[in-house]
Amino acid sequence: MSAPADILVLNTGSSSVKFAVFDAQLQERISGVAEGIGGHGHLRIGAQKEALDLPDHGEALSAVLDRLTQKGAGPDNLRALAHRVVHGGTGLTMPARITPDVRAEIQACVPLAPLHNPHALLAIDALEQLAPDLPQYASFDTAFHATAPEVANRYALPPQAEALGLRRYGFHGLSYASLCHRLPEISDAPLPSRLLAFHLGNGASICAIKDGQSVATTMGYSPLEGLTMGTRVGTLDPNATLRLVEEFGLTETKALLNHHSGLAGLSGGLSDMRALEEAGTAEAQFAIDHFCYWAIRHGHSMIGALGGCDAIVFTGGIGENARSIRARILEGFAWLGCTINPDSNLENAPCLTSPNAETTAWIVPAEEERQIAKDANTLIAGGRA
């Protein structure tokens, strides 16, 4: 019997666990989600959906492993478990096998990601009990941006404030790391030296990637900074935030800036780009205009960090599918010689630009789960299993 080769990747949230099984060639075999954790929920694997009581993450993960076992992808068929962890702080800047010390560092980052890291820890601890013989690994959304220079990551704050961890970390790092691997495969050419990457979805950011490394990004201390997003405000004058706290209080201000702003705040409640494009209202059109304007404006800031631009890449749900949004953003970079091919854009083709374009533009599908599996595979192959 051959040794187990599959890797189970988990992305754990407050009320859900998304999961995918990858084989030795990093091809996805099975994927699904357990949703409604904390009550009566359901478990979906492929097209099959099953109603279940999921009182906590432990029960949800037990159900996931049980159903995967029925499909020949349970613990006996796995060689590793791999987790998406949102925040690694300044200490966890590379994928890592989870040891007591690494777990303690993830725990120490909870104040930096109180809505994310605790749930990853719940999954790590539950799987330590459910599958104690399987090694666990973690990949960090912040890690890709650790290569940015200190002048990019440090806010202009005095030491006593910076000591609280108030610095720019950046997010969507797994998406950006993945596209750096995938673009050469798609383009059949080396990775461009100066790459402007747009991850556009409900959460949105831009990354300046130079020679395969992040040198600047639009998200900062939290995912709230930067672009206009689905429900997040993006960059806001700090005094405006303080005024909101004075008027509405801290709790309501947090909810307003994170969950009721961005496209939803501008449009009257619509945060999905497809719904906005179909709405036909002045408010919806202004929200789209706002999204595109700030994507173009922040994108030029990233070009400043790169010292130029050789190629532009779109990823994420909006980046991969919203044709009119891509076209409008690329119009803002026409001065680079980034000449869009309308037919290619309409077809969501991998290359969006004309053959003679001085600066090329591409679509690269987001493959964060595959990147996590790749990270674990690399650590195992390097003898750090």
Catalytic annotation, residues: 141
- Pairing status of strand 39-45 against strand 28-35: antiparallel
Measure CA 283 to chain center: 28
Cα–Cα dist 9/15, whole Å: 17
> What sign does the dihedral 253-258-263-267 (CA atoms) show?
negative
Contact (Cβ atoms closer than 8 angstroms) between residue 218 and residue 226: yes
DSSP 147: G
φ, ψ for residue 332, nearest 5 deg: -70, -10
Beta-bridged to residue 12, according to DSSP, are: 17
Cα–Cα dist 185/350, whole Å: 11
Angle of helix 117-130 relative to helix 57-70, nearest 10 degrees, comes to 50
Cα–Cα dist 121/103, whole Å: 8
Query: Nearest-CA neighbor of 359 among 329, 331, 333?
Result: 333
